[in-house]
Amino acid sequence: MTSKAAISIKGLNKSFGDTSVLKDISLDIAPGERVVVIGPSGTGKSTLLRCLNYLDRPDSGTIRVGDLTVESAKASRSDILALRRRTSFVFQNYALFANKTARENITQALITVKGQSKQGAATRADEILRETGLIDKADSYPAALSGGQQQRVGIGRAMALDADLMLFDEPTSALDPEWVGEVLDLMRRVAEKHQTMLIVTHEMQFAREIADRIIFMSDGQIVEQGPPEQLLENPQDPRTKAFLWRVSKVAVDPY
Number of C-alpha atoms within 13 angstroms, CB side, residue 148?
15
Q: Of these partners, ligand ATP, Mg ion, none, which one is at the site of residue 43 (CB under 5 to 8 Å by kind)?
A: ligand ATP
CB of 152 to ligand ATP, least distance (A): 22
46 lies in the site for Mg ion, by CB under 5 A = yes
CB of 11 to ligand ATP, least distance (A): 18
- Residue 38 carries which DSSP code? E
- Cβ closest to ligand ATP, residue 16 vs residue 245: 16
Tell which residue, 173, 166, 189, 156, has the closest CA to residue 38: 173
CB of 120 to ligand ATP, least distance (A): 35
CB of 45 to ligand ATP, least distance (A): 4
Q: Of these partners, Mg ion, ligand ATP, none, which one is at the site of residue 76 (CB under 5 to 8 Å by kind)?
A: none
47 lies in the site for Mg ion, by CB under 5 A = no
Using DSSP bridges, classify how beta strands 34-38 and 60-65 pair: parallel, antiparallel or unpaired. unpaired
Number of C-alpha atoms within 13 angstroms, CB side, residue 224?
18
Instruction: Report CA 172 to chain centroid distance, whole Å.
Output: 11
88 lies in the site for Mg ion, by CB under 5 A = no
**Cα–Cα dist 50/234, whole Å:** 30
Interaction site with Mg ion (CB under 5 A):
46
